Amino acid sequence: MKDFLQRALASFIGTLAALTLTLTLGATGLILLLLLLSHQSDPVVKDQSVLVMDLSLPIQDTEPIPSLTAALSSDSQAVLALRPLVESLKKAAKDDRIVALLLDARRGASPLTGYATLAEVCQAIQGFKDSGKKVVAYGVNWNERGYGLAVMADQIWINPLGTLEINGFGLQPLFLSGALEKYGIGVQSVRVGNYKSAIEPFTRKDLSPESRQQTQALLAELWSAYLQNLAKNRPIQTQTLQALADQQGFLLAKAAQGQGLVDKIGYWDQVLESLVSFGAKVESDGEQALRQVSMATYGEVSVPAVPVQDSDNKIAVLYLKGTIVDGKGGLDTVGSERFIPLLRQLQSDPNVKAVVLRIDSPGGSATASDNLLREIQQLRRKKPVVVSMGDVAASGGYWIATGGERIFAQASTVTGSIGVFSLFFNVEKLGNNLGLTWDELQTAQLANLGSSITPKSEAELAVYQTAVNQVYESFLDKVAQSRGLPKAKVAEIAQGRVWSGTQAKQVGLVDEIGGLEQAIADAAQRAKLGQDWQVKELPAPKDLTLVLLERLSQTQAWQALRPSDTLAQPWEQLTTELQALQTFNDARGLYARLPLFWQSWD
């Protein structure tokens, strides 16, 4: 027995030592790999190069958290960040080594880029064209988002077997009430605003008349702006475009060329020949290779003609992207406890002379929105605060926007939705179907007010309705005070109704039609900085090395040896589906947000 214990102990110690050595070498190797990745040589741009913008990559306000997989991939760029993209186009316009810009849609155009973001990119492309350099667009199957950028090109190419989509904007909202009812989950709600439709996917099986009317009107407004942009840049009238959308939807290559929507039909080698005519260089080493530089790589290139601006005067751009939630939230949400310290940091930083809030949010928790607004108002007492709206800045997103001195939005920004609601789920029928029953004891009529077991009584709903009414009145007051409008006027344009950026300007909810660059320039002017300033972006992106080392330090040894779980993938899919509901974490259950379907319209 003693020998057995000695052998067992020796085996355990040996295994532990081997495990420790393996993990140590693994961590050391990982660190060495990260150091090698972080010390890669600077990219080199040759003369007669073409700047290539891959339209299959979504364009977003900020870059995602870096990952080792992306760093090791030959196609490591997952998204194009908006400001670096715009700055790269400005830089390339002055760079003699860059002779043209190629909008590359051979792999399609990402459906994840919003139309308001596209408008900002179009403006930047126009600035590149104004320098006298050419822009060429090539695609196989042009969708409406990609084509919205392609119209800025001097030449639009399409593959001989390609198609061009022009079929209008549409939505197919998903309604869950039937499924919830089938499984015995009851849903009740209270709201203020006839157009406040965020509750409808849970309480109805179709759109309410008010929701249908406002959604159809907004889609029509956005579609009209899209057609006007096409007609402005192509030899075709909006009436013809509308007829094509109504009657054809997709055009084959020859038909698209016949309508003037594209200039040339051809293959990739023919596009190369066209770029050569604009001064580009094609290497002939057995395989024709365009001398090019990707947009992501070019962002890291220094250009002598464009000196790097360095100044102690900072204009801070704070990105508020995602659903607004209580607590710290996640990387894709606006957690009040995570962003309030950032706002206080901006307030106390003597080098920060002005702040631009870049808002891309459908709203969320009313409490979190109000807490954030309070900090924005405190910041505004010391420094200019300007708001730039992205693709969506509505409901709670508009709530926090009222803290700005001036609000900029794109024509296709979705905003407004000034309204409040609360949702209540109960599992009484579900439990009964499973043989579960509940009894009730209470010392007051409203003692079980917060229960999710049984449906709310009329008296309980009245309590919540009073709270919703109170928050709604507060919302109206904040908008009226911020926008300098009579409260009665705000009440008319509120009611939960959504507006396009153009409509919002007409009713007084925004000040200017413009993008992030215009907002930054306005902030610099308000701070009286002249040309002596530099942009500082927050939250600051983390370095890949730091991200992985943080995660490594939080990982237990047994997790490194844990066998793969066959339920991992289904669980991740389920988690993704439930994420939207997980953001409903307001302490009082009061929300100011858009319906989920507005995040996926096309």
Tokens encoding 51 = 């700047």
C-alpha span between 233 and 150 (Å, rounded): 10
* Coil vs helix vs strand at 299: coil
Tokens encoding 255 = 């038909």
Active site residue 74: no
Q: How many CA atoms lie within 13 Å of 18's alpha carbon, on the beta-carbon side?
A: 7
User: Which has the closest alpha carbon to 416: 355, 471, 490?
Assistant: 490
**Distance of CA 131 to CAs 94, 95, 101, 123, 317, Å?**
8, 10, 12, 13, 27
3-state DSSP helix/strand/coil % of the chain, to nearest 5: 45, 20, 35
Could you tell me where the DSSP H helices lie in 349-443?
366-380, 396-401, 428-433
C-alpha span between 65 and 543 (Å, rounded): 9
Q: Which of 196, 314, 321, 505 is catalytic?
A: 196
| Amino acid, single-letter form, for residue 384 | P
Active site residue 46: no
Pair 300, 42: CB distance under 8 Å = yes
B/e letters for 518-546, b = 16+ CB within 10 Å, e = fewer, are: bbbebbbebbebeeebebbbbeeeeebbe
Q: Which of 365, 369, 395, 500 is catalytic?
A: 395
**Could you give the residue numbers annotated as active site?**
196, 395
